[in-house]
Amino acid sequence: MKKAFVAALLIVTAIPLLIGVVALPPHGDPDTPVHTHISARYLEEGREEAGADNIVTGVLLNYRGLDTAGEVTVIFTALMAGLAVLISHKKQPEGDATYDAAEAAAEDAPVRAPVSPVVSFVVRLLAPFIALFAVYVIVNGHVTPGGGFQGGAILGALFIALTIVLGRERTRTLMPRLAQPWMQGAALLTFVGVGIVGGALTGHFLGYPAQASLHLARELMMLVLEAGIGLGGAAVFATLFLQMEAE
Amino acid sequence: MISAVDIRNAVTVVLAAVGALFFLVGTIGLVRLPDFYARTHAATKCDTVGAGSLLLALAVFNGFDASTLKIIALAGLVLLSSPTIGHALARAAHRTGVAPWQARKERAS
A165 neighbors A119 (Cβ within 8 angstroms): yes
pLDDT band at B104 (very low <50, low <70, confident <90, very high): low
Interface contact flag, A122 B81, Cβ < 8 Å: yes
Where in chain B are the domains?
4-108
Q: Which residues of B touch A126 (CB under 8 A)?
A: 77, 80-81
- Return the pLDDT at A114: 79
Interface contact flag, B80 A125, Cβ < 8 Å: yes
Interface contact flag, A113 B95, Cβ < 8 Å: yes
* DSSP run (H or E) holding A164: helix A148-166
DSSP A69: H
Helix, strand, coil: what percent of chain A each, to 5?
A: 80, 0, 20
Report DSSP letters for B35-66, one per residue. SHHHHHHHHHHIIIIIHHHHHHHHHHHH-SSH
Where in chain A are the domains?
53-104+116-246
The minimal CB distance from B91 to the residues A111, A116, A125 is found for A116
HSE (CB half, 13 Å, CA atoms) of A212?
2
Interface contact flag, B95 A125, Cβ < 8 Å: no
A122 in reach of chain B (CB within 8 A): yes
The reply to whether ipTM tops 0.85 is no
What is the distance between the alpha carbons of residues A242 and A238, in angstroms, rounded to a whole number?
6
Segment A91-124, tens digit of pLDDT = 655 555 555 555 555 555 555 667 888 999 999 9
In B, minimum Cα distance to A130 occurs at B77
Residues 6+ apart with CB under 8 A from A168: A242, A245
Q: Cα A134 to chain center, whole Å?
A: 14
Residues of chain A with pLDDT under 70: 91-113, 247
Segment B7-56, tens digit of pLDDT = 999 999 999 999 999 999 999 999 999 899 999 989 888 888 899 999 99
What is the distance between the alpha carbons of residues A224 and A210, in angstroms, rounded to a whole number?
18
